[in-house]
Amino acid sequence: MVKQFSLPEFLEKAKTTVVVDVRTPLEFEQGHIPGAINIPIFTNEERVIVGTTYKQQGRQAAILLGFEFTGVKWADFIRQAEESAPDKKIMVHCWRGGMRSGAMAWAFDLYGFEVYTLKGGYKSFRRFGIDSFSKSYPFQILSGSTGCAKTKTLQSMKKLGEQVIDLEDLAQHQGSAFGSMGKLVQPSQEQFENLLATELAKMDVSKPIWLEDESVTIGKRVIPKPIWEQMRRAPVVKINIPKEERIDFLNEDYGNLDKDFLKTSVLRIQKRLGPLETKLTLQAIDEGRMKDFIRQVLVYYDKTYAKGINNREHQNIFTLEISKINPLENAKAILEYKKSNKL
């Protein structure tokens, strides 16, 4: 017997049970419940045809056509489900919780799976995510110039028991012209929001939630406006680390990247660097003088950072001087500083 769950019940059960999204590959790529797998009942093209048939000829004609499309696929659907859920417990959803998930759930149930469906489908999850952005969160922002190892410091803070959301990891981008690292592929905007909503749902709002100081855009992904506005109002711990320390740290991350990728990235910001600076930066890359390349672009990024931090409310900024980059020790120092300043 197929059981239908509300969204909270579904998400709780999903922690231990495989979730199958039966929408098309295109719909799934656009956005899905994090952790779900895709077993599409229709191809992208078949869904369009069935939808058109539904509008022009009605429900029964669309259902009949749907069965014609899927007739030879059912055994493969079940094999995929068995491979993904060998315990034969499975959760199924489509867009609204209608015919597609109903048909797949029926087939899995008939075969002997323990099946659960989501009331309202993915649409209910999407609504939950968007609504979550308007709630209030006790954000704390870690700020600092490029190369302060903020991400690694936040990771160390998480290991020390702090609540941390890594926006750059969710966006799969390091937040600069070089942020793709030549290999990272960003999720869609919708999926970025889904991932963020899922992280927010895990947080205890009675305790601080640490985020890195970000622009409103991370690569091509945009932080939802209500969250961005809360980030701008939140208390900021700004760490100051000597420039040479930052250059050494950045050299470890960027010094060995593909030179063509680095040069292409430099050309993206050439108008902001200026013609002479662009020429010197490209020359340093060609000649393998990676620290000189980093030193050159830091002139631009440090100016950009200074402008951004100066646009914040100064009373919300608390500055901590740090001499060396050591993520774990720096994380401890930040938490001690926060405690002593009662942030």
The catalytic site residues sit at: 94
> What kind and span of H or E run contains 125?
helix 121-132
Side chain identity at residue 293, one-letter code: F
* CA distance linking residue 160 with residue 162, whole number of Å: 6
Strand pairing report for 114-118 and 3-5: parallel
Quick one: tokens of 35? 């952790």
* CA distance linking residue 337 with residue 319, whole number of Å: 9
* CA distance linking residue 12 with residue 237, whole number of Å: 35
User: For residue 154, which of 342, 341, 328 has the smallest C-alpha distance?
Assistant: 328
Please check whether residue 130 is in contact with residue 193, taking contact to mean a CB–CB distance below 8 angstroms: yes
Coil vs helix vs strand at 115: strand
* CA distance linking residue 231 with residue 131, whole number of Å: 17
